[in-house]
Amino acid sequence: MATLELKGLRKTYDRVVALHEATLEVSDGEFLTLLGPSGCGKTTLLRMIAGITERDQGEVWLSGKRIDALPPEARNIGMVFQSYALFPHMTVFNNLAFGLRMRGVTKKDIKERVQNALHLVNLTDYAERFPRQLSGGQQQRVALARAVVIEPALLLLDEPLSNLDAKLRDQLRHDLRELQQTLGITSIYVTHDQSEALALSDRVAVMNEGRIVELGTPHQLYQEPHSRFTAEFLGSTNLLEVELLSGFIKLPWGDILPYEGNQRGRAFMSVRPEELTIVEDARGQATVETVTFLGSFTHYQIRLGAHPLLVQSAGREKTLGAGSSVRVTVTAFHVLQEVTGVSREAVSA
Amino acid sequence: MKKHLTVPLLLLPGVGYLLVFFGLPLFLAVAGGFGLFTLNAESRFTLGHYQSLFTDRAYRDSLLFTLYLAITSTLFSFVGKAVFRAIYKIPLIVPSIVAAFLVLTLLDLGGVASRWFGLVGVSLPKLVRDPLAIGTLIALAWKNIPFMTLIIGGSLASINQDLPYAARTLGATPFVSFLRVQVPLALPGISAATLLVFIGNMAAFAIPNLLGPVYPLPLSIHMYQNAFELNEWGLVSAMGTFIGVVSGLVLLAYYALTNRAQRALEGRK
């Protein structure tokens, strides 16, 4: 098992900065997710850790050993690619055995370790099949088994579930987390899917425009985001520009809410759709514009004066119709500390 | 080693090869048209050859037709591409007969190469119309290298770029990754290119006719002589059938060998 430390990793392509100085620590056995939109630098960062993409500057330390100058084959890092990158001309057995053969493991041990790895991913009967004879989900599990069979110090996963349908993705997400916890392997996972990041991770590093914008546990980032980007990228939210009045908050439509802070001035407040409740009221100040039933919950797009708001209620509750007048209550909220380019830890300090 | 030296040194095998084997023949062809470095006359600048080419009606018509063919075909391959990438494709648009004359100009006794080597006291062996058909082999290889490069290059380029990286993260060196992952996956392209070139070479006519030994002659030349000089069409058919059968047998043997090689490279039993 291993710890990972990144110090000021930077990458530019021509004059475009793909990754600004990234500094990050990953604990032994931790599952950390790099979350961000396409082109934010998360895959570049992952590939720099693997040694596939050359860094411009910065250091990579794995378990106290500096590895940034080592070639990929000398880093002892397992990687699962978005395309799975299974060798199409090799059977499942030979795909898994490849890394062990490169390490000079004996035939007897290769057989045993490959079978154990296939057992871990429930593919014991598929050893003699070729990748083309497997479904997408099975290929993904082979790719995972191939990466862990070499017993790497660190496991890197580059959007491994993105090519699967939603139901299979949910199942494999669960399997992946279970496997990672069983093996206790330090893992870095790249995704643009916020629900994947929240479900899988011990911590999430939110990335945007080549920077780690914020770092924290899924709960911290979802419930107490520091930046507008994090608040908006992780799930849906209503961002309101409010006035802080030392102990109170004045909402844009004039309502006053109690607030524990002493600050004064203008700030942004994040209110999640589930933190708003609406009750039908003929004298209510808001109007329902659209209603979207989504099974377990219902989304209401409402308008309160000049302010559009998204409200979520449990799917079992009585559905209100479009055009209904409603009274709005804010049950919880979070005032953003708009700081970008600095990690949550740094902000806290 | 310093970076400004490392890069040229790393490029030297590839660039040097291109310049010597593709750039030089091109230069000789151009220079020859102006009377320079010619095989059968004193090297002396002249525009006489071009004067004949443009004033004689038969030549002029041929020239226009040749230009039409050349420009149309090269436009398809050169447009939008860097000059360097286009250089190695030159033999593709040079007819076999021209390739044979280029090799003749370069390698025949008294040719450019023997003159240059003579300057440093080195005497080249007979390379044209020699018993081992060295000149023929050079000309055929020169003609076919870009063809094979295109097919094999395309085959390698179509391989998922993550595969060699996956092999590297699993512990393979770049060479092992190339040998165990990229070569087996490119084998269909390599097989196709090899077979196409082989079958083309089996029936090659212009190059062995001009550069090959006096005896033995390749079957393709015998076929021509028997057909148009001796009117022995039955013999020609027999020779053609034989060439076809041999090509077929080689094709079968090649598939058996590559299949075996592929299994070995894949680590299968």
pLDDT in tens, A211-236: 999 999 999 999 889 888 999 998 88
Per-residue pLDDT tens digits for B224-249: 887 788 777 777 777 777 777 777 78
- The verdict on residue A347 lying in a domain is no
At residue A325 the predicted structure's pLDDT band, cuts being 50, 70 and 90, is: very high
Tell whether A129 is within 8 A of chain B (Cβ): no
Looking at A211, A228, A245, the residue that finishes a domain is A228
Which of the residues A89, A101, A111, A144 would you substitute to probe the B interface, choosing the one with the greatest number of B C-beta atoms within 10 Å?
A89
Do A259 and A211 share a structural domain? no
Q: Note the pLDDT of residue B75.
A: 43
CB contact under 8 A, A146 and B170: yes
Pairwise pLDDT comparison (A293 vs A316), residue with the higher score: A293
For the segment A321-330, the average pLDDT, to the nearest whole number, is 90
For the segment B37-41, the average pLDDT, to the nearest whole number, is 61
Max avg pLDDT among B36-45, B131-140, B230-239: B131-140
What six digits make up the tokens of A78?
């397992």
Pairwise pLDDT comparison (A267 vs B266), residue with the higher score: A267
Max avg pLDDT among A167-176, B73-82, B151-160, B175-184: B175-184
Position B124, amino acid: L
At residue B40 the predicted structure's pLDDT band, cuts being 50, 70 and 90, is: low
How far does the CA of residue A46 sit from the closest CA of chain B (Å)?
Answer: 12
Nearest to A73 among B160, B172, B184 (CB): B172
Tell whether A107 is within 8 A of chain B (Cβ): no
Give dist(CA A309, CA A230) in Å, integer: 18
Is a pLDDT exceeding 90 seen at residue A309?
Answer: yes
Rounded to 5 degrees, φ, ψ at A341 are 80, 5
ipTM of the prediction: 0.84
Looking at A189, A204, A228, the residue that finishes a domain is A228
What is the number of structural domains in chain A?
2
Do A259 and A216 share a structural domain? no
Residues 86 through 145 of chain B touching chain A, CB cutoff 8 Å: none
Is a pLDDT exceeding 50 seen at residue A182?
Answer: yes
Is a pLDDT exceeding 70 seen at residue B266?
Answer: no
Q: Note the pLDDT of residue A348.
A: 33
For the segment A125-144, the average pLDDT, to the nearest whole number, is 93
Q: Residue A42 burial (CB < 10 Å; 0-12/13-18/19+)? A: buried
Check if the beta carbon of residue A27 is closer than 8 Å to that of residue A201: no
At residue A345 the predicted structure's pLDDT band, cuts being 50, 70 and 90, is: very low
Pairwise pLDDT comparison (A190 vs B81), residue with the higher score: A190
Is a pLDDT exceeding 70 seen at residue B207?
Answer: yes
Residues 47 through 66 of chain A touching chain B, CB cutoff 8 Å: 50-52
- The verdict on residue A211 lying in a domain is yes
Looking at A183, A202, A228, the residue that finishes a domain is A228
Do A192 and A269 share a structural domain? no
Nearest residue in chain B measured CA to CA from A88: B185
Do A222 and A80 share a structural domain? yes
Do A169 and A79 share a structural domain? yes
Residues 149 through 168 of chain B touching chain A, CB cutoff 8 Å: 160, 162-163, 165-168
For the segment B132-142, the average pLDDT, to the nearest whole number, is 82
CB contact under 8 A, B169 and A52: yes
Do A242 and A200 share a structural domain? no
Strand partners, A17: A12
Domain housing A311: 237-335
Is a pLDDT exceeding 70 seen at residue B262?
Answer: no
Is a pLDDT exceeding 80 seen at residue B251?
Answer: no
For the segment B203-212, the average pLDDT, to the nearest whole number, is 83
Check if the beta carbon of residue A194 is closer than 8 Å to that of residue A206: no
What percentage of chain A carries pLDDT values higher than 90?
65
Query: What are the CA-CA distances from residue B53 to residues B13, B66, B68, B101 (Å)?
Result: 38, 12, 16, 18
Is a pLDDT exceeding 70 seen at residue B19?
Answer: yes
Distance of CA A19 to the CA centre of its chain: 18
How far does the CA of residue A206 sit from the closest CA of chain B (Å)?
Answer: 25
Nearest to B172 among A97, A102, A146 (CB): A102
* CATH code assigned at A273: 2.40.50.140
- The verdict on residue A342 lying in a domain is no
How far does the CA of residue A22 sit from the closest CA of chain B (Å)?
Answer: 22
Check if the beta carbon of residue A195 is closer than 8 Å to that of residue A234: no
Do A302 and A178 share a structural domain? no
- The verdict on residue A182 lying in a domain is yes
Sheet strand arrangement including A65-66: A16-26, A4-13, A57-62, A65-66
Do A171 and A276 share a structural domain? no
CB contact under 8 A, B268 and A94: yes
Contacts of B267 in chain A (CB under 8 A): 90, 94, 97-98, 101
Nearest residue in chain B measured CA to CA from A128: B268
CB contact under 8 A, A94 and B181: no
Q: Note the pLDDT of residue B3.
A: 65
- The verdict on residue A9 lying in a domain is yes
What percentage of chain A carries pLDDT values higher than 70?
95
Instruction: Please state, rounded to an integer, the average pLDDT across all residues of chain A.
Output: 90
CB contact under 8 A, B165 and A85: yes
Do A61 and A36 share a structural domain? yes
- The verdict on residue A290 lying in a domain is yes
Pairwise pLDDT comparison (B19 vs A233), residue with the higher score: A233
Residues 245 through 264 of chain B touching chain A, CB cutoff 8 Å: 262
- The verdict on residue A349 lying in a domain is no
At residue B2 the predicted structure's pLDDT band, cuts being 50, 70 and 90, is: low
How far does the CA of residue A230 sit from the closest CA of chain B (Å)?
Answer: 31
Contacts of A101 in chain B (CB under 8 A): 267
Q: How many residues does chain A have?
A: 349
Q: Note the pLDDT of residue A212.
A: 94
* CATH code assigned at A137: 3.40.50.300
Do A93 and A159 share a structural domain? yes
| Residues ≥6 apart with Cβ < 8 Å to A187 | A30, A31, A32, A154, A155, A156, A157, A180
Pairwise pLDDT comparison (B100 vs B172), residue with the higher score: B172
Is a pLDDT exceeding 90 seen at residue A52?
Answer: yes
Is a pLDDT exceeding 60 seen at residue A72?
Answer: yes
Contacts of A150 in chain B (CB under 8 A): 170-171
Is a pLDDT exceeding 50 seen at residue A283?
Answer: yes
At residue A253 the predicted structure's pLDDT band, cuts being 50, 70 and 90, is: confident
Do A253 and A164 share a structural domain? no
- The verdict on residue A343 lying in a domain is no
Contacts of B162 in chain A (CB under 8 A): 81-83, 85
Per-residue pLDDT tens digits for B44-65: 787 776 676 567 665 555 545 4
CB contact under 8 A, A99 and B171: yes
Is a pLDDT exceeding 90 seen at residue A100?
Answer: yes
Do A215 and A67 share a structural domain? yes
How far does the CA of residue B263 sit from the closest CA of chain A (Å)?
Answer: 9
Contacts of B189 in chain A (CB under 8 A): none
A-B contacts at Cβ under 8 angstroms: 71
Per-residue pLDDT tens digits for B83-122: 556 667 777 778 888 888 888 888 888 778 888 888 888 8
Q: Note the pLDDT of residue A42.
A: 94
Sign (positive/negative) of CA torsion B93, B96, B101, B107? positive
